[in-house]
A and B are shown apart, each in its own frame.
Chain A
Amino acid sequence: MMNEGSELSVTIAQIVQRLKGTHLHSQLEKQAKECLHRPEIRLESIKEDVRKFLRATGWERKLQNAVYRELHILPPSGHPEAPLEHTKEPLAYMRKAQASWEKRILKSLNSMCTELGVPLARKRPVLEQKELTSKWNEMGADEPDLSKFRPVYAPKDFLEVLINLKNPNHDHSDGLTARSHWGLIPISLSVRDVPQLREAYPELSLSCSQLGIDDHAHVPPDLFESEHIRIGKKVVDEQDSAAAQQYSRQGSPTGLRAQLWALILNITNDPEDVAHYEQLKAAVIHHDLLVDNLIYKDVKLTASNDDYYFVFEDVLYQVLLCFSRDTAVLEHFSYNSATPPKSYIQGKTGEEEFAVVYPPNGVIPFHGFSMYVAPLCFLYNEPCKLYSVFREMYVRYFFRLHSISSSPSGIVSLCLQFERLLQIHLPQLFFHLQEIMAQPLRIAFKWMVRAFSGYLSTDQLLLLWDRILGYDSLELVAVLAAAVFAFRAENLMEVTSLASAEAVLADLSTLKVMPLLQIFLFANVI
């Protein structure tokens, strides 16, 4: 077995390999070369002096941030003999379930393609290209006929798949037990309980100040807010990714959030990134993809109908159409349990050399997908920066919400954790809802798949996402879902049907996220 030392050197080697040839690398080299002219660089101690120079001019910090970013997206380490599929998802039954789900989605996409006679991809005629270029900033003004397109799947379809997961090692032969009739998720994964969560999220405790609670109108800003903002400004000035992440656990001030998130995600907006975005835009102009229609439809159905996000319609198209064509996203499949869908050049089905990944980024959008982007429009208005932030958030977090895996931040774990938290802390409520055929997960699932986007009011959602970034985990999404049920428990105990339960939980726009989380984790008697 590998010892820690060699594991570390493997990791270092991996990161060095990834950073080689990046824009940062060439800039560092350039800086190092140019600084040789400076008087403080002496030949005898050249290595030390160059290092000192890079540190003083902030370049070391940039490198640190880049390394820190790589650590976030490092594929899991596994046995050198193990194939990649096994490393990124160790549980065989999960792999199987994900693979068959993918098959279903692709089949659905292909049949839509055949039914409607629309090709998966086609090159746009020159006239159409010109038209699209001229209305690039107002694509939402069009009203194309999308009636024949249906979303490939909706969250509830995905929930059915999760409900039917089967662990072959789980022995059901002892018949029905009370446990087997609890909850919808039929498998066991290790999820944290409240005492463990308390240890993992100490910054949310009652004795710790934070934004979302201690910046309330009635609290004098001197008690916490002013100082927190001052520290936030310092963090931004220092340009330290790791510090920003830690800071974000107590919330980001509205005026600093955009910069802090960009720092946490290490979005540098280099000329490299800008050029990449322009390339993607050109790709959108040249080719029309079937998934584009799915994107249009999704934006029109969800974001455009939202009271606040409708303003962002045009930029959502820009971001999502570019996203579909971005092959850089394929990198995340080295740690995503999913596999990018493949399509074959016409007439060559099955022949591997004629296989292409479709869509180019390997991600087929589903109903509600555009809501991952919508809240970010609130923070960034340059399309390139907005795009980079969204892409990074997707490859770090959002992808886990719609793929089957055993990851603690994966949707399966979140569902299980949600159910467990309710079962343990609100057993009466859980039992009651189960009796009236209103399984809590059926209601909470859609919130979790979207990380609550579109359900909470924007300012509250951003406070939640502050913590997702701060703790580098989606776990709080499950905790919040349980906390919402706890908050409305009294009303829920009175309902007698799934429809009325849905009605009690239909409107979350008045909820305050941080007090809910705090009370659930730290104020409940266990």
Chain B
Amino acid sequence: MCTVRWQACLCVCAYGQHLAGNHIKADSNHREGRSCVRYKCSLMNTVLDVLHQRPGWVEVKEDGEWDFNWCDVGWLRENFDHSYMEEHVRICHFRNHYELTRKNLMVKNLKRYRKTVEREAGRLEAVKCDFFPLTFVLPSEYHLFVEDFKRSPGSTWIMKPVARSQGKGIFLFRKLKDIMEWKKVKICSSNTDCTRSDEQRDEAQVESYVVQSYIENPYLIHGRKFDLRVYILVTSYLPLKAWLYRDGFARFSNTRFSLRTIDDQYVHLTNVAVQKTAPVYNPEKGCKWQMQQLRRYLTAKHGTYVVEELFKDIDNIFIRSLQSVQKVIINDKHCFELYGYDILLDQDLKPWLIEVNASPSLTASNQDDYEMKYSLIEDTLHIVDMEGRLTGKEKRVGGFDLMWNDGPVFRENAGLETLGSPFQTANTHLGGVNDRKKQLRQLLKPFPGQKKV
């Protein structure tokens, strides 16, 4: 009797659940490297360039067998469940990534996670989860929203469609009557079938929205609002292994921030796609600052200590948001995913999570942007390591720093001196110097078949 139950437990435990111990650790030390990698790619931008130029990588056409697939989420939805993938095969999305990247699901997961943290670790710890603005999923939480809305009259709210990107369909409002029309059309019966997938539900009915408390005091640089785009690479959810890219950028709104004109979406939305159509957009100019520039600017204004604390708070957002979906995302060793996180700072230098993108734009707006994205993708491929050149113990690969490896990763190497020391610093360098070429030269063996330079 006991043996059967014990075996049953093991089966349940093994499938997708987090073990208390440390058995399911990092990648095996010596993966079989491949000298020839067959790839598919559904994008026609920087990604394709990187893949074309990688030694030993060959593009395969339509139905050919592939070892690597940089696919879009549409392809994933249609094909993933029907594809058999050999052990070595890699694909650039997790099956149900939308748990993190769909606004309504992210909110649900974060709220649930916060409750868990509060229950298990107390209020002080739970406060660290308060990095997303008050959000309600519509239509299901409409009544909860109205309650809160009435409690803070005069404040501004932002309505966002759950599944669209690039700023489409977003609008701001202050009065309930502004959304009355919208409500008549959009609100449907509250007893929606939860077992159907999100996509199916959407297709059948009307799209879901989230309504979020609008951050009315964003940090401005000389009157302009901006948000941060940061890149996080996750190679595994169980255990959680996540890398943070040193480069990123601050995207500026082209016009000056003012609460007077909430109709002017050009002011409030900082997506480059929206800014590109704004009347004063100058395509040559670009309205982005590199993360390094922003970090230096903030340091000059506020001092090193304040800025270091800010970046620690930003690290906290990445880690907790990933932890909140850790048990929900279907872990699969074939999958990795490069996320684009959008972070907004307010005037008190508190960072807020706006959203997470599973397919951040990898199209370049100018030469510098191209080089940055090229390096980002190249380093992603280095970490995915089809060629088997890594040992699995690396804390840094090119511009990526290992931020979380089933536990926090520190810059200092573990030893007797560092044990229990409160002075360990996180192994993150967002906005720091990115001397990736030099680091890669020292780190990587040449490609199979290539002579060492």
Name A's B-contacting residues (CB within 8 A). Answer: 137-138, 141, 143, 217, 229, 253-258, 304-305, 307-308, 310-315, 377-379, 381, 458-459
Chain B interface residue count, CB cutoff 8 Å, equals 29
Contact across chains for B222 and A255 when beta carbons are under 8 A apart: no
Indicate which residue in A217, A229, A312, A458 contacts B296 across the interface (CB closer than 8 Å).
A458
Say yes or no: A254-B300 contact (C-beta < 8 A), given A307-B286, A308-B293, A311-B221.
Answer: yes
List which B286-304 residues lie within 8 A (CB) of chain A: 286-287, 289, 293, 296-297, 299-304
CB distance from B364 to the nearest CB of A (A): 14
Contact across chains for A310 and B285 when beta carbons are under 8 A apart: yes
B435 sits at the interface (CB 8 A): yes
List 19 A-B pairs, Cβ < 8 Å: A141-B256, A143-B280, A217-B433, A254-B299, A255-B300, A255-B302, A258-B300, A258-B301, A305-B282, A308-B289, A308-B293, A310-B285, A311-B222, A311-B252, A312-B222, A313-B222, A377-B222, A378-B296, A378-B297
B255 sits at the interface (CB 8 A): yes
CB neighbours of B224 from chain A (8 A)? 311
**How far is A307 from B222 in the complex, measured between Cα atoms in Å?**
15
B448 sits at the interface (CB 8 A): no
**How far is A311 from B289 in the complex, measured between Cα atoms in Å?**
9
B122 sits at the interface (CB 8 A): no
Contact across chains for A379 and B300 when beta carbons are under 8 A apart: yes
Instruction: Mark interface residues in B223-243 (1 if CB within 8 Å of A CB, else 0).
Output: 110000000000000000000
CB neighbours of B282 from chain A (8 A)? 305
Given A255-B305, A311-B289, 16 other A-B contacts at CB below 8 A? A137-B223, A138-B256, A217-B432, A217-B433, A254-B304, A255-B304, A305-B282, A307-B289, A308-B289, A308-B293, A311-B221, A312-B222, A313-B222, A314-B256, A381-B301, A458-B296
Say yes or no: A310-B300 contact (C-beta < 8 A), given A217-B435, A377-B222.
Answer: no
Contact across chains for B222 and A315 when beta carbons are under 8 A apart: yes
CB neighbours of B286 from chain A (8 A)? 307
**How far is A315 from B304 in the complex, measured between Cα atoms in Å?**
25
**How far is A258 from B307 in the complex, measured between Cα atoms in Å?**
16
Indicate which residue in A143, A304, A305, A314 contacts B222 across the interface (CB closer than 8 Å).
A314
List which B263-297 residues lie within 8 A (CB) of chain A: 280, 282, 284-287, 289, 293, 296-297
Q: Is the interface of A mostly helix, strand, loop or mixed?
A: helix
**How far is A89 from B286 in the complex, measured between Cα atoms in Å?**
46
CB neighbours of A308 from chain B (8 A)? 289, 293
CB neighbours of A378 from chain B (8 A)? 296-297, 300
Residue in chain B with minimal CB distance to A143? B280
Most chain B Cβ neighbours within 10 Å, of A141, A143, A255: A255
Residue in chain A with minimal CB distance to B297? A378
The 8 closest A-B pairs by CB, nearest first: A255-B303, A255-B304, A138-B256, A254-B299, A217-B433, A315-B222, A254-B300, A255-B299
**How far is A214 from B223 in the complex, measured between Cα atoms in Å?**
35
CB distance from B71 to the nearest CB of A (A): 33
CB neighbours of A315 from chain B (8 A)? 222
Say yes or no: A253-B432 contact (C-beta < 8 A), given A308-B293, A310-B287, A314-B223.
Answer: no
**How far is A311 from B220 in the complex, measured between Cα atoms in Å?**
10
Residue in chain A with minimal CB distance to B302? A255
Contact across chains for A307 and B285 when beta carbons are under 8 A apart: yes
CB neighbours of B305 from chain A (8 A)? 255
CB distance from B295 to the nearest CB of A (A): 9
Contact across chains for B289 and A137 when beta carbons are under 8 A apart: no
**How far is A229 from B307 in the complex, measured between Cα atoms in Å?**
16
Most chain B Cβ neighbours within 10 Å, of A304, A307, A312, A458: A307
**How far is A255 from B299 in the complex, measured between Cα atoms in Å?**
5
**How far is A255 from B309 in the complex, measured between Cα atoms in Å?**
14
CB neighbours of A307 from chain B (8 A)? 285-286, 289, 368
CB neighbours of B297 from chain A (8 A)? 378
CB neighbours of A255 from chain B (8 A)? 299-300, 302-305, 307
Say yes or no: A254-B296 contact (C-beta < 8 A), given A217-B435, A307-B286, A314-B256.
Answer: yes
**How far is A459 from B252 in the complex, measured between Cα atoms in Å?**
20
Contact across chains for A305 and B284 when beta carbons are under 8 A apart: yes
CB neighbours of A304 from chain B (8 A)? 285
CB distance from B234 to the nearest CB of A (A): 26
List which B343-394 residues lie within 8 A (CB) of chain A: 368
CB neighbours of B432 from chain A (8 A)? 217
List which B193-249 residues lie within 8 A (CB) of chain A: 221-224
CB distance from A310 to the nearest CB of B (A): 6
Indicate which residue in B222, B293, B304 contacts A253 across the interface (CB closer than 8 Å).
B304
List which B302-326 residues lie within 8 A (CB) of chain A: 302-305, 307
CB neighbours of A379 from chain B (8 A)? 300-301
CB neighbours of B435 from chain A (8 A)? 217
CB distance from B405 to the nearest CB of A (A): 22
**How far is A141 from B278 in the complex, measured between Cα atoms in Å?**
12
CB distance from B349 to the nearest CB of A (A): 14
CB distance from A251 to the nearest CB of B (A): 13
